[in-house]
């Protein structure tokens, strides 16, 4: 956008207001894309329904048959909504990791948190080892969650050490990815054929594991976490000006970082624990949001959540439509779709994002 | 009430290495400009970071006579202004104002941002991304972020090092007039001794982690200071009734 060079102070305010309005419109557009994608997602499957049918079933119209209503509400709805909340959670987690670690490469996937979760899950799948003695039904998820949180806290503690730079954190994350991948390979090597298949499928990430209780837990975490970030919106935005600058504004940088990292670790770990490894949403979602809306956290945070949700929901649509009658695990599709999309955004956007 | 700042035996340690020690100042009052000068790596930035509360160490810092660290009273502009963000100039100044305040943006907030943009004459870059700016522009924006907080005590670490001569003179005059008008206590690190003579009421000389001299600018900036601290030959000339000028003849040549 070009603004006249000779701008008076009076219009500075006006331009800012117009900018805020534009950001709100971008958020609205993202929300509309998300809703359309959910409707498409609900319509797709072994039986295909049109948009009109889906909408009628959603509003409980007597025009649609009971069978269609059951398919949409009981079978497809948890999966479709899981895509939305998982996408939102991973993207918001990635956004805040990038913010507090001041690193464009930070995401649950690239810093080894997803790999740690996979390793934790594989322990349960292969050996039946639970890291907590209760909740047998959720043993895979709990193992994944605990390992993911441990990895996130490890990254955080290391990033606090004196002389640790942005590059060091990425290197550290990569060492975690390699370590957990090696451990995962070791577990797979020792696994029985049946357990091996379960592990491989788990690491691919699939939304078909979604159930109403899992959806409820993930939704609850997103609903609790986002307002906690939002409350700190100005402080988190200030971190983008550098640690010294934020501190000189009175931001308690250490505390904001620690609190944010704790919330991020839960936000990143729970989805991975329930649906397996879904890469790139946590990396790409925030970058899309940043390019669309900038880094003012009041808009950047909802934009990250919405773009992550829309991205995963659209990916779910694609994973159902590529090979008719079969659902490709969504973890495979996210990378294949997300990366070219990010690539084209980077190449067409002339403003430097980092 | 006029803000005051007084340091008593203030020091900074990095591990075992003492980079600054025993800095004791007279009471610096609102309305005054104090320049901190000294060679590179003398400990000027450490002193600023210590006063701003970013470093801990021995000694007391008293604001209005009380030992306290209150970010709302002090605002510090770091020397390093490099950023890597798509935040716009306007947004960055607004967010500086909103820290610790009511999170909602009011008309008064936007008015304050417009005013500070106007006073530094940077309206034309208000909607540019911070990482698109030149070094000098970044410095002006960083100063704007500091001024918009309307602090009582202003700590500026080399605020004019990347500015052209016109901007240096303009910015330092603005800082001086703000100090007088709003009774702000300004402490700034600066290398240009001619600018120091022009705007500073008081000069503190830091060398090798200690304060070696402190007093009115004309009394501190002398040929002896040039020789002892900066290792150059020079003289100070009075060029008008109010103004002095440093004239440098050349570096001291060591005789073998």
A116 three-class SS: helix
Higher pLDDT, A136 or B176: B176
Residues 71-100 of B with CB under 8 A from A: 71-72, 75-78, 80, 82-88, 90-92, 94-96, 98-100
Best residue of B93, B95, B120, B144 to probe chain A, by most A CBs closer than 10 Å: B95
* Ramachandran class of A153: left when φ > 0, alpha when ψ lies in -120 to 50, beta otherwise: alpha
Which residue, A341, A165, A348, A159, is CA-closest to A261? A159
Query: Across the interface, which of B86, B124, B145 has its CB nearest the CB of A295?
Result: B86
Which chain A residue is nearest to residue B52, measuring alpha carbons? A248
Write out chain A residues lying below 8 Å of B143, CB-based: none
Cβ contact B99–A251 (<8 Å): yes
Touching check for B230 and chain A: CB below 8 Å? no
Which chain A residue is nearest to residue B141, measuring alpha carbons? A241
Cβ contact B96–A240 (<8 Å): no
Query: Across the interface, which of A19, A233, A249 has its CB nearest the CB of B96?
Result: A249
Out of A39-43, A323-327, B219-223, least confident range: A323-327
A11-31 average pLDDT score:
94
Question: End-to-end CA distance of chain B, in Å?
Answer: 58
Q: How far apart are CA A309 and CA A303, in angstroms?
A: 10
Which chain B residue is nearest to residue A251, measuring alpha carbons? B99
Note whether ipTM > 0.85 here.
Answer: yes
Residue B62 scores a pLDDT above 60: yes
Residue-level pLDDT at A128? 77
Cβ contact B90–A234 (<8 Å): no
- Tokens representing residue A67 in the block: 């069978």
Residue A1 scores a pLDDT above 50: no
A106-125 average pLDDT score:
86
Q: How far apart are CA A193 and CA B232, in angstroms?
A: 81
How close does chain A come to B51, measured CA to CA in Å? 11
Residue B55 scores a pLDDT above 80: yes
Residue B256 scores a pLDDT above 60: no
The full DSSP string for chain B is ---EEEEESEEEEETTEEEEEEE----EETT-EEEEE-STTSSHHHHHHHHTTSS--SSEEEETTEE---TTTEEEE-S--------BHHHHHHHHHHTTS-SS--HHHHHHHHHHHHHTT-GGGTTSBGGGS-HHHHHHHHHHHHHTT--SEEEEESTTTTS-HHHHHHHHHHHHHHHHHHT-EEEEE---HHHHHHH-SEEEEEETTEEEEEE-HHHHSSHHHHHHTT-EEEEEEE-SSS-EEEEEEEEPPPP-
């Amino acid at each position: 956008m070009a603004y006249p060079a000779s701008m008076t102070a009076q219009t500075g305010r006006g331009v800012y207001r117009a900018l805020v309005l534009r950001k709100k419109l971008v958020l609205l557009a993202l929300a509309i894309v998300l809703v359309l994608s959910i409707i498409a997602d609900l319509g797709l499957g072994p039986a295909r329904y049109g948009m009109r049918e889906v909408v009628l079933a959603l509003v409980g119209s007597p025009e649609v048959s009971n069978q269609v209503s059951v398919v949409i509400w009981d079978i497809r709805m948890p999966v479709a909504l899981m895509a939305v909340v998982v996408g939102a959670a991973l993207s918001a987690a990635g956004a805040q990791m990038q913010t507090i670690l001041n690193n464009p490469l930070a995401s649950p996937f690239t810093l080894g948190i997803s790999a740690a979760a996979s390793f934790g899950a594989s322990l349960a799948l292969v050996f039946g080892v639970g890291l907590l003695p209760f909740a047998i039904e959720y043993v895979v998820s709990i193992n994944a969650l605990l390992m993911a949180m441990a990895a996130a806290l490890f990254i955080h503690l290391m990033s606090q050490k004196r002389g640790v730079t942005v590059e060091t954190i990425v290197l550290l994350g990569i060492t975690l990815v390699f370590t957990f991948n090696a451990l995962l390979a070791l577990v797979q090597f020792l696994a029985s054929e049946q357990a091996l298949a379960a592990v491989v499928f788990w690491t691919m990430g699939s939304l078909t594991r979604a159930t109403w209780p899992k959806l409820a837990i993930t939704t609850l975490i997103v609903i609790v976490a986002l307002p906690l970030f939002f409350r700190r919106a100005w402080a988190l935005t200030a971190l983008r000006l550098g640690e010294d600058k934020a501190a000189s504004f009175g931001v308690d940088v250490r505390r904001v970082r620690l609190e944010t990292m704790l919330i991020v670790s839960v936000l990143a770990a729970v989805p991975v624990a329930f649906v397996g490894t879904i890469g790139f949403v946590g990396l790409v979602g925030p970058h899309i949001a940043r390019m669309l809306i900038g880094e003012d956290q009041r808009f950047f945070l909802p934009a990250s959540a919405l773009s992550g949700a829309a991205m995963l929901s659209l990916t779910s649509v694609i994973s159902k439509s590529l090979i008719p009658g079969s659902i490709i695990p969504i973890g495979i599709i996210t990378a294949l779709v997300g990366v070219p999309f990010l690539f084209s955004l980077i190449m067409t956007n002339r403003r430097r994002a980092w | 009430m006029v803000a005051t700042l007084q340091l008593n035996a203030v020091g900074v340690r990095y591990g075992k290495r003492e980079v600054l020690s025993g800095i004791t100042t007279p009471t610096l009052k609102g309305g005054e400009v104090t320049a901190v000068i000294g060679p590179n790596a003398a400990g000027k930035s450490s002193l600023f970071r210590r006063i701003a509360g970013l470093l801990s160490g021995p000694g007391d810092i008293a604001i209005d006579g009380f030992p306290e660290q209150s970010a709302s009273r002090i605002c510090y502009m770091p020397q390093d202004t490099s950023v890597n963000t798509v935040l716009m100039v306007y947004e960055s100044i607004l967010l500086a104002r909103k820290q610790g305040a009511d999170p909602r943006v009011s008309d008064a907030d936007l008015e304050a941002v417009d005013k500070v943009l106007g006073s530094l004459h940077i309206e034309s870059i208000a909607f540019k991304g911070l990482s698109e700016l030149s070094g000098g522009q970044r410095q002006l924006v960083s100063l704007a972020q500091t001024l918009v907080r309307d602090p009582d005590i202003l700590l500026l670490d080399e605020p004019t090092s990347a500015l052209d001569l016109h901007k240096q003179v303009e910015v330092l005059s603005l800082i001086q007039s703000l100090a007088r008008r709003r009774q702000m206590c300004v402490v700034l690190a600066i290398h240009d001794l001619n600018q120091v003579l022009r705007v500073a009421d008081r000069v503190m000389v830091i060398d090798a982690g200690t304060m070696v001299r402190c007093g009115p600018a004309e009394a501190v900036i002398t040929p002896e200071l040039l020789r002892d601290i900066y290792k150059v030959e020079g003289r100070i000339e009075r060029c008008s009734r109010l103004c002095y000028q440093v004239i440098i003849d050349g570096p001291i040549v060591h005789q073998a």
